[in-house]
Amino acid sequence: MSVADRLAAVRERIRTAEERSGRTSGSVKLVAVSKRKPVADIIAAYEAGQRDFGENYVQEFAAKDAALGELEHARFHFIGKLQSNKSNKAASLFDAIHTIDSIKLARRLARSVKPLDVFVEVKLSHEPTKGGAAPQAVAEIIGAIRAAPSLKLRGLMTMPPWNSDPARSRPYFRHLRQLAAEHDLSGLSMGMSHDLEVAIDEGATHVRVGTAIFGKRDA
C-alpha cells in the first residue's frame, strides 16, 4: 500500500471511532509521525491532504526542514524527549511541542518570539523508559506556561506502556482526561497506531500515528 492509501485507512479509522464515541466528525486531529522517514514520505502524505506531522529528533528534522521547502499550511509537532539545550532550535523549527515535562523547559521555550502551541507531558506509568512529569508536578508546570505570553497551553500528553491489547491503554487515557479536567484543559494528545480508537473513546483531541501511515521504521 502507498502512503496515501494507508493515510486514507487511518482517517477512516478515526472517523469511525469519532462516530462510535458520539464525537463530532473532525474533532480529532491526526498527527502523522514521520520520524526516521524520508522527506519523500512526508511530501506523499502532504499531497494526500495531511497537514500535521510529528517528529522526535530536533537534528533529524532540521535536515528535513532544509529539504522540504515551504509546504503551505503544514504544521510540525515535536513529540520526542526535548533536551533543554535544544529548546531554542526546537522553538524555531516546530509549531507545537507536546513534551514539556518541567518548569525549566517551559521557561526556556518561553524565550521564543514565535508563538508555540504546547502540551504538558505526564508520566502515568512506572516504565523507566517513559518520559513526562509526575501528576503532582503538573500544576506548577502549567503555571509557568500560562505566565509565558509566547506559549499557548493546549492540554496534556501521555504515552501508556506498550501492550498488544489496546484496551490496556484505557486506564491511562482516562487518567489523563481526568487530570486535564482538573486543570480546565480540553486538549489531549494520546493514542497511536494500535490504540487510537480507545484514545478517541476517552477524549483524545490529537492522535499521533506513524507506523500505520508510513510503515515500520528501521531500527
At residue 127 the predicted structure's pLDDT band, cuts being 50, 70 and 90, is confident
Assess whether pLDDT exceeds 70 at residue 219: no
Nearest to 110 by CA among 137, 67, 80, 146: 146
Question: Residue 217: what pLDDT?
Answer: 79
**29-33 vs 206-209, strand pairing mode:** parallel
Closest residue by Cα to residue 192 from 178, 181, 172, 182:
172
pLDDT of residue 90: 98
Give the confidence band of 3 by pLDDT, cuts at 50, 70, 90. Answer: very high
Assess contact for 49 and 74: CB atoms under 8 A.
Answer: no
Residue 156, in any domain of the structure: yes
Asked if residue 55 is part of any domain, the answer here is: yes
CATH number at residue 108: 3.20.20.10
Q: How many CB atoms lie within 10 A of CB 136?
A: 7
Report pLDDT digits (tens) over 8-40.
Answer: 999 999 999 999 999 999 999 999 999 999 999
Where does the pLDDT of residue 69 fall: very low under 50, low under 70, confident under 90, or very high at 90 and above? confident
Q: What is the total count of domains within the chain?
A: 1
Cα-flanking dihedrals φ and ψ of residue 207, to 5°? -115, 140
Q: What is the pTM of this model?
A: 0.96
How large is the average pLDDT for residues 97-107?
97
Q: Mean pLDDT throughout 85-113?
A: 96
Domain that holds residue 190: 3-214
Residue 71 — very low, low, confident or very high, per pLDDT cuts 50/70/90? very high
pLDDT value at residue 126:
84
Confidence of residue 130 (pLDDT cuts 50, 70, 90): confident
Residue 218 pLDDT > 80: no
Assess if residue 219 is contained within a domain: no
pLDDT digits (tens, 9 = 90+) for 153-170: 999 999 999 999 999 999
Nearest CA among 100, 209, 79, 86 for reference residue 152: 100
Give 33-42 pLDDT, tens digit per residue.
Answer: 999 999 999 9
Quick check: 204 and 191 in contact, CB under 8 A? yes
Summary mean pLDDT of the chain: 96
For residues 2 and 162, give the distance between their C-alpha atoms in angstroms, rounded to a whole number.
26
